[in-house]
Amino acid sequence: MGTPVKRIVLSGYYGFNNSGDEAVLQSILLALQEQGERQGVTFHPVVLSVNPAETARTYGVESAHRMRPMELWKALRGADGLISGGGSLLQDETSPKTIPYYLGVIRLAQLLGKPVFVYSQGIGPVHRPKFFGWIRSAFQRCRVVTVRDEESKALLQQMGLSGSEVEVVPDPVMGMPLKNAARHRDPAGADSGLAPVIGVSVRFWNKDRSELDAAAEALRKVMEETDAVVRFLPFHLPSDEEASEYVAQRLGETYKHRISIAKGVTHPQDMLAETASVSVLLGMRLHSLIYAAGRYVPMVGISYDPKIDQFLNRLSMQAACSTQAPNAAAIAETLLHLLKSREAWREDKRQVIERLKSEAHRPAERIAAFYSKAQGRR
């Protein structure tokens, strides 16, 4: 009897040129491949994307358009299951249409009799109570429900789900490797003789740009006191490149020769390599912080959303400040401290990071086990 091949549809925020969400996709694909090989299952992924051609070309997978009903229907009808996740899919902070869309995909799969697996999602914020019952009803019919933090589990319990139905696992990106199993090194380490590199991931958030002004002021102070150089890492194109240029301009002509921007980086493992090459990271994007943690790079967070704080809490850390109260002095102080003590930081965080990286594959392991056992019962 040959290895069973299972067509599995992946639903998420894919194809939007957001490095974080693309990293989620890449991480899930790699984890499915690895766990499938371990448990004797071959997965044939079908990714729902807003840009199917680009997604298929980038990841070597089959892809269907996420917003074309007939393509969505055909993909689910011909599938052996659906993975919903990861990322912050079920939240109504950005739009009241987000939750109905992702739940609609789940319910359609369930109506077609397909097993559904919720993969390391961040749940919330959910401001509209009417969505509570919708989420509870859909999730109660899922075969596996995993979330990326305790706060998401608590919110699901508030919605009426039993705690035993929900497993907390790390964000899948914690398990994403570098290409070709490349090893991380600190090119600006204490003994290298090179200037330290501050990686910076910023985004537009406040209308008055006060959060970006604070970041620029902090970076200017650090550059005044050290020989550090700044490498901007735009995670969402093109808007993060524009935010990076905004901050770079505010650093002024004096430091122009010590500033660069990693433009046009679209593949998540290429951005992971960029992150791995910096000494310290200043990040607003959640996945910039996760990339850094996964490569043992000390990070400083600026929080615009509870998900930033929730991730940092898992490392026993706090954001330097929030976008509601930008604090250039706090950002600069934390950056300067980590530049001096990054080796100590790595040793202090190594054990928890290694545990998170190991646990990041748990959802894929459970999915592979589901199909492996189902095959064994035949």
Write phi, then psi, for 8 (nearest 5 degrees): -130, 125
If asked whether residues 201 and 303 sit together in one domain, one would say: yes
> Is residue 292 included in any domain, yes or no?
yes
Report how many domains make up the chain.
Answer: 2
Express each pLDDT in 16-73 by its tens digit: 988 899 999 999 999 999 999 999 999 999 999 999 999 999 999 999 999 999 999 9
| Burial bucket for residue 167 (CB in 10 Å: 0-12, 13-18, 19+) | middle
CA distances from 20 to 114, 146, 190, 236, 321 (A): 28, 19, 30, 8, 21
> Is residue 193 included in any domain, yes or no?
yes
> Is residue 9 included in any domain, yes or no?
yes
Q: What is the pLDDT of residue 182?
A: 46
For 52, what's the count of Cα atoms within 13 Å in the CB-facing half-sphere?
17
Q: What is the pLDDT of residue 202?
A: 98
Average pLDDT, the chain: 94
Residue 65 to residue 164: CA distance in whole angstroms: 34
If asked whether residues 347 and 369 sit together in one domain, one would say: no
* Residue 168: closest CA among 348, 360, 325, 298: 360
If asked whether residues 333 and 220 sit together in one domain, one would say: yes
Q: Is pLDDT above 80 for 378?
A: no
E-assigned strands of 167-210?
167-168, 197-201
Q: What is the pLDDT of residue 157?
A: 96
Residue 356 to residue 210: CA distance in whole angstroms: 33
If asked whether residues 342 and 220 sit together in one domain, one would say: yes
pLDDT tier at 94, thresholds 50, 70, 90: confident
If asked whether residues 106 and 204 sit together in one domain, one would say: no
> Is residue 41 included in any domain, yes or no?
yes
Q: What is the pLDDT of residue 163?
A: 83
If asked whether residues 267 and 324 sit together in one domain, one would say: yes
Q: What is the mean pLDDT of residues 107-112?
A: 98
Express each pLDDT in 257-304 by its tens digit: 999 999 999 999 999 999 999 999 999 999 999 999 999 999 999 999
If asked whether residues 114 and 200 sit together in one domain, one would say: no
CA distances from 160 to 134, 140, 259, 314, 363 (A): 11, 10, 50, 25, 22
Residue 267 to residue 240: CA distance in whole angstroms: 15
If asked whether residues 120 and 194 sit together in one domain, one would say: no
> Is residue 154 included in any domain, yes or no?
yes
Q: Is pLDDT above 70 for 184?
A: no
> Is residue 176 included in any domain, yes or no?
no
If asked whether residues 31 and 159 sit together in one domain, one would say: yes
pTM value is 0.89
Q: What is the pLDDT of residue 39?
A: 95
Q: What is the DSSP string of 89-148?
A: -S--SS-TTHHHHHHHHHHHHHHTT--EEEEEE-------THHHHHHHHHHHT-SEEEES
Please report which residue ranges of the chain form alpha helices under DSSP H. Answer: 19-39, 52-59, 69-77, 98-111, 130-140, 150-158, 210-225, 239-250, 268-276, 286-294, 306-314, 328-359, 362-376
> Is residue 111 included in any domain, yes or no?
yes
Q: What is the pLDDT of residue 181?
A: 54
If asked whether residues 62 and 119 sit together in one domain, one would say: yes
Residues 6+ apart with CB under 8 A from 22: 14, 58, 266, 267, 268
Containing structural domain, residue 273 = 183-356
Q: Is pLDDT above 50 for 186?
A: no
CATH code for position 66: 3.40.50.2000
If asked whether residues 139 and 43 sit together in one domain, one would say: yes
Q: Residue 46 has which token pair?
A: 């079908």
Express each pLDDT in 355-365 by its tens digit: 999 999 999 99
Express each pLDDT in 241-262 by its tens digit: 999 999 999 999 999 999 999 9
If asked whether residues 210 and 269 sit together in one domain, one would say: yes
> Is residue 177 included in any domain, yes or no?
no
pLDDT tier at 188, thresholds 50, 70, 90: very low
CB atoms inside a 10 Å sphere around CB 330: 17
For 355, what's the count of Cα atoms within 13 Å in the CB-facing half-sphere?
7
Q: What is the pLDDT of residue 190?
A: 41
Instruction: Tell me the three state secondary structure of residue 348.
Output: helix
Q: Is pLDDT above 70 for 2?
A: no
Q: Residue 254 has which token pair?
A: 């004096």
Q: What is the pLDDT of residue 185?
A: 47
Q: What is the mean pLDDT of residues 335-341?
A: 98
Q: Is pLDDT above 90 for 375?
A: no
| Burial bucket for residue 56 (CB in 10 Å: 0-12, 13-18, 19+) | middle
